[in-house]
């Protein structure tokens, strides 16, 4: 396949590029800076500009672009950055693919577009499949708009897959780095009540699922989470065991909320008991199903 990839500088994108090349695909990497290799091609999503020739003969596009969501308060400026970085890139690539599909409707194209498990908001103990409704906090509303920006491609006949990704566990993942340091110092403990679910997925399966979805017949939202989500208390216990550290210091929920604001309430002391129903139904088989194995793999190079 000929595949255009945007947002490839991050954790998932770098691993995906390596895997796609190994699979023998031809990769076009969309970048905003001056290209450094023949594989890189410049685009300008801030102004909704992309050379139509770049997407004219691609079979697929994987859009992972967007400012990182970091553990910090959602200031007005930061919110705007999170929104525009996602809507601009998604709209630009979606409209570009729509034009290519209209010009050549005989080619079966697919857009695999990033989204987040935060789409559902804090759902407590309820089991969350892809047909669950969206939440109403900032991240949920962001994900709704992010997914809606793929509409031009979908309306033109492009198969669109929306990746509602959970907590990705890989060697360079921010969650792994931050918690790894805290726990190694013996300062780890559950966050809030510990009853909130943390829907995790290994980096290996995140990439494996994207590769699978490029050629499957799946469309619409797909939860990219491992089959067995765990509570924060269980996550904490297993991380402590992997690092051979005690976990004696729980952090009260009010402290998380006070320090991190809505991010803390939505993503740290809130969560989703999400399961990958659509992914499993499509025939994907997970390589890493145990949290302990995922943590050991992620911490191996940390």
In this structure, what CATH number is given to the domain that contains residue 208?
3.40.50.720
- What is the radius of gyration, based on Cα positions, of the chain? 19
| Average pLDDT, integer, range 38-62 | 95
Phi, psi of 281 (to 5 degrees): -60, -25
Choose between 218 and 181: higher pLDDT: 218
Asked if residue 152 belongs to a domain, the reply is yes
Asked if residue 260 belongs to a domain, the reply is no
Tens digits of per-residue pLDDT, 20-44? 999 999 999 999 999 999 999 999 9
Asked if residue 267 belongs to a domain, the reply is no
- How many domains, in total, are found in the chain? 1
Asked if residue 235 belongs to a domain, the reply is no
Asked if residue 178 belongs to a domain, the reply is no
Q: Which domain holds residue 40?
A: 2-169+199-228+273-287
| Average pLDDT, integer, range 165-183 | 89
Return left, alpha or beta for 59; rule: phi > 0 is left, psi -120 to 50 is alpha, else beta. Answer: alpha
Contacts of 242 (CB under 8 A, 6+ apart): 292, 295, 296, 299
Asked if residue 208 belongs to a domain, the reply is yes
Closest by alpha carbon to 238, among 194, 285, 173? 194
Please report the pLDDT score of residue 252 as a whole number. 76
Please report the pLDDT score of residue 242 as a whole number. 93
Closest by alpha carbon to 56, among 105, 90, 7, 20? 105
> What's this model's pTM, rounded to 2 decimal places?
0.94
pLDDT at 5 over 90: yes
Asked if residue 243 belongs to a domain, the reply is no
Local confidence band at 178 (pLDDT 50, 70, 90 cut-offs): confident
Asked if residue 147 belongs to a domain, the reply is yes
């Amino acid at each position: 396949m000929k595949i255009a990839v945007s947002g490839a500088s991050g954790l998932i994108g770098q691993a995906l590029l390596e895997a796609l090349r190994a699979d023998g695909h031809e990769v076009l990497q969309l970048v905003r800076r001056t290209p450094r290799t023949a594989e890189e091609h410049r685009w300008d999503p801030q102004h909704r500009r992309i050379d139509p020739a770049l997407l004219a003969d691609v079979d697929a596009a994987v859009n992972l672009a967007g400012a990182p969501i970091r553990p910090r308060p959602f200031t007005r400026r930061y919110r705007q950055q999170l929104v525009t970085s996602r809507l601009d890139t998604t709209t630009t690539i979606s409209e570009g693919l729509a034009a290519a599909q209209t010009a050549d409707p005989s080619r079966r194209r697919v857009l695999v577009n990033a989204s987040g498990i935060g789409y559902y908001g804090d759902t407590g103990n309820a089991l969350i499949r892809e047909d669950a409704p969206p939440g109403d906090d900032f991240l949920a509303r962001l994900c709704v708009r992010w997914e809606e920006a793929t509409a031009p491609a979908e309306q033109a006949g492009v198969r669109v897959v929306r990746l509602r990704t959970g907590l990705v566990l890989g060697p360079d993942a921010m969650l792994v780095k931050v918690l790894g340091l805290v726990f190694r110092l013996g300062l780890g403990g559950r966050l809030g009540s510990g009853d909130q679910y943390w829907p995790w997925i290994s980096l290996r399966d995140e990439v494996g699922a994207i590769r699978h979805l490029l050629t499957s017949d799946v469309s619409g939202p797909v939860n990219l989470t491992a089959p067995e989500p765990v509570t924060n208390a269980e996550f904490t216990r297993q991380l402590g065991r992997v690092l051979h550290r005690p976990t004696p210091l729980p952090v009260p929920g009010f402290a998380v909320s006070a320090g991190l604001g809505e991010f803390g309430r939505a993503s740290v002391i809130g969560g989703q008991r999400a399961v990958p129903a659509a992914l499993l139904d499509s025939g994907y088989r997970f390589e890493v199903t145990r949290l302990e194995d995922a943590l050991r793999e992620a911490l191996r190079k940390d």
